[in-house]
Structure 1
């Protein structure tokens, strides 16, 4: 167990960005990547934490957890569909096969919940009964389990710059993907989600919903890419007590990064205006939660990598021949 004092000391050293001696650096919200030779890519997962489409903080060990947890999930699901992972040269880095990302975010939902504009419960609470092309009956309650998981795709930052809702039929109608490829993606997504729910249940967690990303190789093979079933890409609830809380009309106990969004929302912040400052205790709590999720799901003891990260990273990628 990493102590509170140790985590507090590491906050200033948490990895914000990389500046490796490699050409063509690109960055997303949480990851930096560098294209390598032979159709490969180096992806470094930083300690940046984003919510409301804003970078809010740096959280010690967050990048390591996301990187190593995704690698674990890639291993658990490789019998369902190939993935882009080649190797893990460093706790925060992955070497992957470079593919062409499919321009659809594949959201799989097992429960009707959520308050964002694209969330099922939000649309249902507005009176909509046909959502994402699915017909929903009257009388559903927030956080209720769906009879079967469903896929609710979105574009990746459409004309508005924000993800836009799609129906499964529209993915083909709008010629984003051909029907055969989209069917393959949907079948894989539901199977991965089912595997995720099974393994989460063993950890006394409920995998509520998640986001998958897929890519195509040059010869048209579909691959699972990005991250899988992490606290960043997924919603988890604690299974113990869920049914009792649901029956009482209370919120389930979340076990992902939702508590950070709630902390900001309690201060009136939802992504607009100046970002309020938060006590360091929030970030140490986040670090402990990410580590706990890793250990619960993988049943492995988390082995913290050394800080500062970039010094270690440079050594490890050099040893990997990069």
Structure 2
């Protein structure tokens, strides 16, 4: 197989018959940096959870999966021409959306009610796209009109409809398992027939924020089953990281690595209702 591309988390290889083997590594990234060390079993959890979700979403949108790969971390998939927009849906206010809201009263140009706090549930899920920045650069929020200007009104409407449909289905399934899906990012591309297709990963702790329903309380940072735990440690005094001066991030302590793995495993097991065996 020919190596095609390596991202922050995934490696792509082309097979002799023109398909792609997508391998999820155990690498973890935050704030546009790949961190050290790896999180054990993370790649397998991302791939197996994505495969489960692709099945849950199959009636909403086609996906790129052809078959499972030779191990738990890999999947054989069709090539897609990726849409040049990050498709994000939010049902709750936090993260970069909260920063945008506090500054403008809007998120990606969508006006929101006054008085919302960190963790507030939004009146309805919203489509909050962003740019697809090159590796090492930051994605920037986009308004819906900017998406229209980039891909046209018909494609923009499809992107919004699919993204919100995926979010709503994911939020519904997660809530049945006692988990709040705060927000999620999906990757869409056109297949060989020009059909918008779900690619990459979907509804994993790397691409979504998952919160325990029984501890959710607006007005503070929420407990989570995702890599927000790592972000929180990196921005705490305990890490000693000077982000303002572009210093390289510190190495993750063993305790943070293990507790992050535990959160990924718990997300997988609670969402799918099955035991992760690694």
Q: Shorter-chain TM-score category?
A: over 0.9
Of 145, 151, 163, which residue of structure 1 is paired with 2:139? 163
Number of the residue aligned with 1:96: 77
Normalised by the length of structure 2, the TM-score is 0.92
> 1:113: how far off?
1.4
Number of the residue aligned with 2:241: 269
In the TM superposition, what are the counterparts of 1:143-154 in structure 2 within 5 Å? 143-154=119-130
Residue by residue, what CA displacement relative to the aligned partner does 1:248-299 show, whole Å, maximum 9, x if unpaired? x333222211111111111242753132233212111111211111110000
Secondary structure of 1:104's aligned partner? coil
Separation in 1, partners of 2:228, 2:255: 16
Q: Check the 8 A contact 1:42/1:95 in 2, yes or no.
A: yes
Number of the residue aligned with 1:135: 111
Separation in 2, partners of 1:27, 1:142: 34
In the TM superposition, what are the counterparts of 1:144-293 in structure 2 within 5 Å? 144-157=120-133, 161-173=137-149, 176-242=150-216, 245-246=217-218, 249-266=219-236, 267-269=239-241, 271=243, 272-293=246-267
Q: Check the 8 A contact 2:188/2:197 in 1, yes or no.
A: yes
* 1:161–1:287 CA distance, 2 compared to 1 (3 A): closer
Separation in 2, partners of 1:201, 1:37: 42
Separation in 1, partners of 2:242, 2:188: 29
- Gap runs ≥5 in structure 1: 1-21, 305-322
Moved over 6 A (4+): none
Separation in 1, partners of 2:222, 2:137: 32
Number of the residue aligned with 1:51: 30
Q: Is 1:105 aligned to residue 86 of structure 2?
A: yes
Number of the residue aligned with 1:314: none
* 1:301–1:33 CA distance, 2 compared to 1 (3 A): same
Separation in 2, partners of 1:94, 1:185: 24
Normalised by the length of structure 1, the TM-score is 0.80
Q: Is 1:67 aligned to residue 37 of structure 2?
A: no
Aligned alpha-carbon RMSD (Å): 1.8
- Gap runs ≥5 in structure 2: none
> 1:146: how far off?
0.5
**Higher alpha-carbon Rg:** 1
Number of the residue aligned with 1:27: 6
Q: How many residues align?
A: 272
